[in-house]
């Protein structure tokens, strides 16, 4: 990679550069989304939170971030930057331009103190490891055959009234369910600011991707309150003369408790004129224990959310630990030099502190490993067995790993 990144200034865009910004974004992703989607993203990503690179007057790189509150182990949240819209013009690759934009973002978050953690969904994971991002959540991609008898009922799951509702009009009622459950699973985020209702219910030819209109079903309890919901589309298929082979494409499913969650899933897996349901769920989702034949769901593990600690002390002190932790780790972080050094982490289920120290190190690891272990889905011990964490004090790795693990598998339910 060339070292002449200084030749390509990096800064937020001005109002007059908005059209060039989105033209480069769409060109790089080989897409032509409708103008309404551009207007929508302008509401979510303010110009102040964009980043662009220039070759003279030519805009050659794009990026931005969305402020979130990320749920971390312990049912608490930390301020997080959701990185999005990252591109570099094909004619300007391997010139250090992406590195310049990444550094601009990291330094900005650190200096402003507005994000202890950064997250992103990676179209090409190999790119972001060199900037300290590690895969922090996984999902099970499922193909579930139709048939309500294939998914066991649970106590109370047959006591809800299922209703079809307008996705936009019912957004607030459904969002109340989302807000009630998001603190229970690491990786979920609070949708902050205006525009998220429009994102969640966006429905046009571009978002349909050959499927039908966006639908929303809710499970109402005896008091008429929404206890669970799903947003989905059906991809109709009548080519098979023996039977319709439609596919249910699930966007989002949540329930306040197991009964409401399963009530919605039993609806989704028994829709007329369909053959199967396609969805992504957490790796520990109850569905896997309630399907009569789990093998028929064809589960496939996928990497989802990538995590990077911007300020190691704030990020590690912001989460809780499943077992007491008292460990000194040595971190080399050339991309974020303020993180480089030795840190003592002491914490438990009630809170934690992370401070610089000169004490001897117990563990040696890098920012990518911390990002991978941060949400508790992948253990430090597993990283150690892979040679990614070095243990200097016997027993320190196992003890730290027990503290970092999350009882609930992390999951990121929607992309940004």
Active site residues: 128, 416
Torsion region of 196: left, alpha or beta (phi above 0 gives left; psi -120 to 50 gives alpha): alpha
Place of tokens 């790089």: 28
Q: Is 87 annotated as a binding residue?
A: yes
Rounded-to-integer distance, Cα 1 and Cα 95, Å? 6
Rounded-to-integer distance, Cα 321 and Cα 368, Å? 19
145 Cβ contact list (under 8 Å, min separation 6) = 269, 275, 276, 296, 297
Q: Is 97 annotated as a binding residue?
A: yes
Q: Is 353 annotated as a binding residue?
A: no
With beta carbons less than 8 A apart as the criterion, state whether 349 and 74 touch.
Answer: yes
Torsion region of 383: left, alpha or beta (phi above 0 gives left; psi -120 to 50 gives alpha): alpha
Q: Is 98 annotated as a binding residue?
A: yes
Q: Is 182 annotated as a binding residue?
A: no
Q: Is 88 annotated as a binding residue?
A: yes
Please give, one letter per residue, the 3-state secondary structure of 186-205. CCCEECCCCCHHHHHCCCCH
- For 9, the 3-state DSSP assignment is coil
Token pair recorded at residue 376: 């508790």
Q: Is 355 annotated as a binding residue?
A: no
Characterize 89-98 residue by residue with b for buried, 16 or more Cβ atoms within 10 angstroms of its Cβ, and e for exposed: beebeebbbb
Which residue positions form the known binding site for acetyl-CoA? 86-88, 94-99, 123-124
Which residue positions form the known binding site? 86-88, 94-99, 123-124
């Amino acid at each position: 990679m060339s070292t002449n990144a200084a030749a390509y200034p990096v800064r937020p865009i001005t109002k007059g550069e908005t059209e060039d910004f989105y033209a480069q974004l769409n060109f790089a992703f080989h897409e032509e989304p409708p103008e309404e989607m551009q207007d929508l993203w302008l509401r979510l990503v303010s110009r102040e939170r964009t980043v662009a690179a220039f070759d003279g007057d030519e805009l050659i790189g794009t990026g931005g971030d969305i402020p979130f509150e990320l749920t971390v182990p312990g049912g608490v949240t930390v301020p997080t930057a959701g990185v999005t819209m990252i591109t570099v013009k094909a004619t300007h690759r391997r010139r250090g331009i992406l590195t310049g934009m990444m550094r601009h973002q990291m330094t900005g978050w650190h200096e402003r103190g507005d994000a202890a953690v950064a997250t992103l969904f990676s179209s090409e994971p190999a790119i972001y490891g060199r900037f300290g991002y590690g895969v922090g959540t996984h999902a099970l991609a499922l193909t579930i055959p139709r048939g309500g008898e294939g998914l066991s009922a649970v106590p109370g799951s047959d006591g809800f009234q299922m209703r079809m509702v307008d996705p936009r009009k019912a957004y607030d009622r459904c969002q109340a369910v989302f807000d009630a459950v998001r603190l229970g699973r690491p990786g979920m985020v609070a949708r902050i600011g205006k525009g998220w209702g429009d994102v969640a219910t966006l429905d046009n030819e571009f978002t349909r991707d050959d499927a039908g209109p966006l639908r929303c079903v809710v499970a109402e309890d005896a008091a008429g309150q929404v206890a669970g919901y799903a947003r989905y589309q059906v991809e109709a298929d009548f080519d098979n003369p023996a039977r319709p082979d439609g596919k249910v494409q699930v966007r989002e499913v949540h329930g306040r408790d197991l009964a409401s969650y399963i009530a919605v899933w039993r609806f989704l897996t028994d829709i007329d004129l369909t053959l199967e349901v396609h969805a992504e769920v957490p790796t520990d989702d109850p569905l896997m224990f309630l399907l009569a034949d789990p093998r028929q769901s064809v589960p496939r593990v996928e990497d989802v959310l990538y995590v990077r600690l911007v300020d190691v002390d704030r990020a590690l002190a912001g989460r809780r630990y499943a077992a007491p932790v008292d460990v000194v780790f040595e971190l080399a972080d050339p991309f974020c030099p303020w993180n480089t050094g030795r840190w003592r982490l002491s914490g438990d289920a009630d809170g934690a502190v992370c401070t610089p120290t000169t004490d001897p190190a117990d563990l040696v690891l890098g920012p990518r490993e911390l990002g991978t272990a941060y949400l508790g889905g992948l253990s430090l011990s597993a990283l150690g067995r892979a040679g990614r964490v070095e243990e200097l004090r016997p027993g320190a790795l196992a003890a730290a790993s027990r503290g970092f693990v999350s009882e609930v598998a992390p999951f990121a339910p929607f992309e940004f």
